Amino acid sequence: MKMRLAEIAQAVQGELVPATATATSLEVTSVAFDSRALTAGALFVPLRGKRNGHDYVKSASEHGAVASLWSKDRSTDGVPDDFPLIIVSDPLTALQDLAKYYLAKINPKVVAVTGSNGKTTTKDLIAAVMQTTFNVTKTQDNFNNEIGVPITILSMSSNTEVLVVEMGMDRPGQLHRLSELVQPDIAVITMIGEAHIEFFGTRAKIAQAKLEITDGLSSDGVFVYDGDEPLLTDQPVRTNPRRFTFGRQGTNDIYPTKITESDQETRFETNRWQDFEFTIPLLGDYNVNNALAALSVGELLEVTPANLRGGLSHPDLTANRAEWVPGNQGEMILSDVYNSNPTAVRAVLQAFADTELDGKRIVVLGDMLELGDQSEAMHAGLASALNPATFPMVFLVGSKMTALFTALMDCYQPETTLFHYTEEQLPKLTTALRSHIAPGDEVLLKASHGLHLEKVLAALTKLTKE
């Protein structure tokens, strides 16, 4: 982005102080809320959280920020005299207003993606397909909330033609506000699972909240979703948009007619392009649905079949989503440590069970968070997906995994083939894993991000410095 400070002040209805000619003509080239990570030319956004961002404006100026938003109820004591401020009622609201203004200015096609599972992978696959034909900006890392979505928008270059934005949620109304902010041309829901069921109670209520992504759809917008999910197919949508479905059943607009799996990739054919075989560099046939969503968006935006195939085969995938990583003892590690819920665990276990290997499969599962009153039953319920013949060793991490540990004691031997550690015992877990791993083994790491199994991954990989 490139905007003069005066234009930004007008866009957020703020007061520029001091309103000198020098200040008004200052050019802003990025927006950041972390004073340590910003680049020269940035507008600093002081947000309130565990720490108040206003306390770091001096640090922001020292790291290259040219100006800052500033809450009008906050004293400017301590702000460098020559450092311009844009005084607003609320910096977060101003950030969102600026993003909406800039989005309208650049005016790309907007594809918004949400879902209980697969939204990050689907976002990456959509972006890969779009990049064969358009200039594309996509959500990076986990910038998918009220802060991350505006930052994603403001990261667009002026030649962006398609914006692919991921949207997360953990409460009702969140996707409504994000959808109203980005006003998508295409809204995608990957699937409805149990993620955040603690806050919603039922999958039906999760579906209702996910459907909020359609609230801001443009007048000719399209709703793309899993047509095999009754909670999406049977629910009314406020904007009554055009619909386009993907899934496994022949009633969908696009569905697979053949799927061939291997350890490193999945190939499939569809009803829509019968002469094309598509390949995704991902394990598990559950990822075919994510690819079908990407193909749906590609067709809606008139990407050629050849480019659809080329894009899917070479996506830039976000780390730690079912990603194979070589370990430092000759093992291969399937890292899926960013998020977890029962549907996702069962899907990755099924895929992991079908891999070819010379050694043994070791499963490491951490707590699935935000499952509420159903947590104990859902953790224990995973026992049906685990058996010693396929998974000879199981390591569990976290207090909630106690239920699964108990359920597995009938078929696994504690302290021999079944192990349980607390959240604070990751180093002990790592040591135990190392003692059992042999060359040719495969290790699955799967947990909610709050368990921080990425620390175990770091300790097991070849890049570790002992």
**Contact criterion met (CB below 8 Å) for 106 and 158:** yes
252 labeled part of a ligand binding site: no
Spell 338-362 as b/e; 16+ CB within 10 A means b. Answer: bbbbbbbbbbbbebbbebeeebbbb
Q: Is 72 annotated as a binding residue?
A: no
Residues in contact with 413: Cβ distance below 8 Å, sequence separation at least 6, in sequence order: none
Is 216 annotated as a binding-site member?
no
User: Between vectors from CA 199 to CA 421 and to CA 97, what angle results, nearest 5°?
Assistant: 115
Task: List CB contacts of 357: < 8 A, sequence separation 6 or more.
Answer: 332, 440, 441, 442
Closest CA to 375 of 249, 117, 198, 203: 198
Q: Is residue 93 annotated as involved in ligand binding?
A: no
To the question of whether residue 119 is assigned a binding role by annotation, the answer is yes
Q: Please write down the HEC assignment for all residues of 23-44.
A: HHCCEECEEECCCCCCCCCEEE
Phi (first) and psi of residue 66, to 5 degrees: -100, -15
Distance CA 161, CA 191 (A): 27
Is 240 one of the annotated binding-site residues?
Answer: no
Contacts of 216 (CB under 8 A, 6+ apart): 176, 178, 179, 180, 181, 182, 183, 184
End-to-end CA distance of the chain: 42
Is residue 314 within 8 Å of residue 279, measured between CB atoms?
Answer: no
Rounded Cα–Cα distance for residues 363 and 444 (Å): 5
Q: Is residue 431 annotated as involved in ligand binding?
A: no
Calculate the dihedral angle through the C-alpha atoms of 142, 146, 152, 158, rounding to the nearest 10 degrees: 170
Cβ–Cβ < 8 Å for 459, 430: yes
Q: What tokens appear for 201 in the block?
A: 């109670």
Binding site residues for ATP, as ranges? 115-121
Residues within the annotated binding site? 115-121
